[in-house]
Amino acid sequence: MSLDVFWHDDAFLHDTGSGVFEHPPSVLMDVPELHPENDVRIRNMKAILERGPLAESLRWKDGRRADPAELELVHDPRYVESIREFCAGGGGVLTWSTTVAERSWEAALAAAGTAIAASDAVLDGKTGAAYALVRPPGHHAQPRQADGYCLFNNAALVAENARRRGVERVAIFDWDVHHGNGTQECFYSRDDVLTVSMHMRHGSWGPAHPQTGAPDEVGSGAGEGFNVNVELPVGTGDGGYLRAVEKLVVPIVEGFAPELLVVACGQDANQFDPNGRQCVTMEGFRALGAAARALADRHCEGRMVLVQEGGYARSYSAFCLHATLAGVLERETELADPCAYLPDDPGHADEEIATARAVLSRYWVL
């Protein structure tokens, strides 16, 4: 079994600078930190895939820049142009956590185009499954709003590209540690794209992210019931994540019976991530990858597109990515986990899972 990995070097052009985490440098500090969404994280992800045990099973493919018109599959044309103009003017702070530089425009085009290229390879029958290793991430990008390090919604573009190419039902499974609010916004009133976000409970974080990610945000109009939010408490761990997959994600995706599975593939639910603290280990990510593979095999003839999202522990996220793709390839983790030591409580999220089931059972057989 092999997996096509789509990559474009423009991922390195996005310079987010340094400071105190997401904030500007402080005169109180001697050495500033890199912004969490930096090129080191993606360099390490690329390196571990090239050098680790999975290397023999990965086929590297060239990504591409999107034509700006392609972004209009899910984004307002005026918004697209505003991002181009902002970058051309030298960049700066788009939202409190989202910083761009002049060449971030090229990186964002490459992220979107590479994700679409991965989906085209799957839809053209050139590969059964593809992974787009892209940066900047995308799942917080709404049709007219950047946020959470995201400019354009790469996973949503993959889903809409598939719909325009004749795929009747697309499911998006997002296990990034944060709510996929941008993806939710793109498809909230539609029943042809099922959006499932499994995330740490954090609520709205301001005007740029008004969505709460709570289970009662179920969609509207024709899309009612087709937006699924699975909130999990801080520190949920492997067992709680996999219990949520078993009790909620799997039966809902199976009830929807998609023809293509899109995975918004973040590793920031790991236990050392500065943005997460969900205590998911390498083995937990391997199990998530295996669960996605099983869903794609049962319903999509194996057709699956994984799109990189978060993961900000600059070394450990790479190990967790390797484990994720090992699960997709139906292999064991194969690398020793350098960081796993916290005890795991499989029942840690049972109350939250029960709450979500009570809401979602109105729409799905659970």
Q: Where are the alpha helices (DSSP H) in 177-269?
A: 181-187, 237-244, 250-256
Domain boundaries of the chain, sorted by first residue: 3-18+33-360
The answer to whether the CB of 112 falls within 8 A of the CB of 152 is yes
pLDDT value, residue 204: 96
77 burial (CB, 10 Å; 0-12 / 13-18 / 19+) is exposed
Query: Is 140 an active-site residue?
Result: yes
β partners of residue 62: 7
| Mean pLDDT over each residue of the chain, to the nearest integer | 97
Q: Which of 137, 178, 183 is nearest to 156 (CA)?
A: 183
Range 3-18+33-360 has CATH code 3.40.800.20: yes
Distances (CA, A) of 160 to 15, 26, 27, 166, 167: 28, 42, 46, 10, 9
Instruction: Give residue for tokens 């990008």.
Output: 141
Query: Which of 14, 35, 75, 140 does the annotation list as catalytic?
Result: 140
User: Dihedral of CA 186/188/189/192: which sign?
Assistant: positive
Asked if 275 and 36 count as a contact pair (C-beta separation under 8 A), the reply is yes
| Chain length of the chain | 366
Q: Looking at residue 76, what is its pLDDT?
A: 98
142-195 confidence digits (pLDDT tens): 999 999 999 999 999 999 999 999 999 999 999 999 999 999 999 999 999 999
Strands 98-101 and 91-95: antiparallel
pLDDT of amino acid 277? 87
Distance CA 102, CA 13 (A): 9
The helix (run of H) or strand (run of E) holding residue 306 is: strand 304-308
pLDDT at 5 over 90: yes
146: closest CA among 196, 111, 171, 120?
Answer: 111
Each residue of 38-83: pLDDT tens digit? Answer: 999 999 999 999 999 999 999 999 999 999 999 999 999 999 999 9
Local confidence band at 269 (pLDDT 50, 70, 90 cut-offs) = very high
Model confidence over 202-241: pLDDT tens digits?
A: 999 999 999 999 999 999 999 999 999 999 999 999 999 9
Q: What is the pLDDT of residue 229?
A: 98
Lookup: tokens for 3:
């997996």
**pLDDT 10s digits, 91-133:** 999 998 999 999 999 999 999 999 999 999 999 999 999 999 9
pLDDT value at position 1? 83
Two tokens, residue 4: 């096509």
Token look-up 């360099």 returns 43
DSSP 235: T
The pLDDT of residue 106 is: 98
Quick one: pLDDT at residue 341? 75
pLDDT of residue 340: 80
Confidence of residue 349 (pLDDT cuts 50, 70, 90): very high
pLDDT digits (tens, 9 = 90+) for 334-346: 999 999 877 789 9
- 3-class DSSP string for 84-128: HHHHHCCEEEEECCEEEECCHHHHHHHHHHHHHHHHHHHHCCCCC
**pLDDT tens digits, 272-286:** 999 988 999 999 999
Distance CA 135, CA 87 (A): 16
